[in-house]
Amino acid sequence: MALLLSENIKVATDSLKSNKLRAFLTMLIIFIGITALVGISSAIDAMKGSINSNFTSMGANSFTIRNKDVAVKIGRHGKRAKKFGAISYKQALRFKKEFTFPVTTAVSTMASFSARLKFESEKTNPNIQVFGGDENYLTTSGYELEQGRNFSPQEIINGTHLVIIGKDVEFDLFKGKQKALDKFITIGSGKYKVIGVLASKGNSMGFGGDKVSIIPLTNARQYFATKDMSFTISVLAPNATLLNFALGEANGLFRKIRNVPLGEQENFEITRADNLANILIGLMSNASIGAIIIGIITLIGASIGLMNIMLVSVTERTKEIGIRKALGATTQTIKTQFLIESIVICLFGGAFGILMGIIAANTISLMLGSSFFMPWFWIFTGFIVCMIVGLISGYLPAKRASLLDPIECLRFE
């Protein structure tokens, strides 16, 4: 049996060598289908991993208290849009002072969403996010310092003109030619001394993790204040168990601070760091189903194309089939030969398709700031799919070849 299988594989390979153009076109069809299936599915897995690592780096055991969005009720009996008041500086500081859980609490605000920073003749694009943060902000937001130091509590109180910048800002302003520490850069109309450079987080999934700068919270209040400025409270717990208890306690305390009557809905929202990640991953899972459907449709088209080419191959090799039957080849032997040939074509095309899919997926992964990964599940799935497509596409041509009359085959042409 093993010898027969080996012989059939050799015959299939020789057939491919003798019809290089036809074999190439057939493999190309399978290559495109498998590349679509493996590439898209692996790329979505890479995106899921990027989302997960992104939010883990932000602090998996953390939650954020921020201002609630405008509530709008749509419909015939809808009510007027309800706007919730911003979280004030006093409310945020009161929470930080009264929240006695063994956690790290930070208060921050968005000073500018699209600032342009300058150093001498160099300047950034107007897409730098400027945050006002306290001495705990780096810890709760998942940032790490590559160079320099954090703000001291006294510097936060005094609102000193200091800044910690992201890697992209450092590159844009200093081009790697000189150190950023202790240099003075311009943000808005003020001069700020650089005391730290953040370690790179990557601009994955559009979060712009390196296009940031952080100034003391009181300085942001003084120089970037707006009428509707709202403050955000971030809480980082040492473990997930304590986080669940801290969440309930924080909700009760902040309801009291915001004067929310008993039984009424909160006018603020508490978001766990991993909640948004789970929502996004859930959406990506739906996209993954769509990608698989697209890949299957592509493979159906590929299998139809392969079947047509195999049928043409049967017609071209009618005389060869007649000679084989005349020399003693059985119906089953002919059928097996064409089935194996179909599977070999699929496996060759599929192997290149899987390789291209891995390259495409890892290219996307690296663009998202993630590391190289090997999608083993989709690799094995790709090979199994290739074999199934080969069997389905090759069955009809193989059956047709096996049922040919040897006398008629020998008289062909």
Rama region for 263: left / alpha / beta (φ>0; ψ in -120 to 50; rest): left
In this prediction, residue 278 has a pLDDT band, given cuts at 50, 70 and 90, of low
Question: Per mean pLDDT, which range of 16-20, 27-31, 97-101, 293-297 is the poorest?
Answer: 16-20
Q: Can you give the pLDDT at residue 276?
A: 62
| pLDDT (average), residues 95-119 | 91
190-198 vs 145-148, strand pairing mode: antiparallel
pLDDT digits (tens, 9 = 90+) for 339-361: 888 888 888 888 888 888 888 87
Q: Can you give the pLDDT at residue 53?
A: 61
Which is more confidently placed, 269 or 296?
269
In this prediction, residue 71 has a pLDDT band, given cuts at 50, 70 and 90, of very low
Check: CB of residue 309 under 8 Å from CB of residue 94.
no
Q: Can you give the pLDDT at residue 135?
A: 93
Nearest by Cα to 87 from 253, 219, 268: 268
> What's at 142, amino acid-wise?
G
pLDDT digits (tens, 9 = 90+) for 76-87: 444 554 567 789
User: Would the pLDDT of 65 be above 50?
Assistant: yes
Which is more confidently placed, 197 or 323?
197
Q: Can you give the pLDDT at residue 73?
A: 47
184-187 vs 190-198, strand pairing mode: antiparallel
Q: Can you give the pLDDT at residue 109?
A: 93
Give the integer Cα–Cα distance in Å for 385 and 383. Answer: 5
Which is more confidently placed, 23 or 234?
234
User: Would the pLDDT of 193 be above 90?
Assistant: yes
| pLDDT (average), residues 138-145 | 87
Q: Can you give the pLDDT at residue 225?
A: 86
Torsion sign across C-alpha atoms 169, 171, 174, 178: positive
- Contacts of residue 305, defined as CB under 8 A and 6 or more positions apart, other chains included, come to 26, 29
| Both structure tokens of 218 | 């009181």
What sections of 104-200 are H helices per DSSP?
Answer: 137-141, 153-158, 167-174
The whole-chain average pLDDT of the chain stands at 81
User: Would the pLDDT of 3 be above 80?
Assistant: no
In this prediction, residue 165 has a pLDDT band, given cuts at 50, 70 and 90, of very high
User: Would the pLDDT of 166 be above 80?
Assistant: yes
pTM over 0.95: no
**Domain residues of the chain, as ranges?**
2-55+279-410, 86-266
Which is more confidently placed, 393 or 71?
393
Check: CB of residue 85 under 8 Å from CB of residue 69.
no
In this prediction, residue 7 has a pLDDT band, given cuts at 50, 70 and 90, of confident
Which is more confidently placed, 2 or 247?
247
Q: Can you give the pLDDT at residue 147?
A: 92
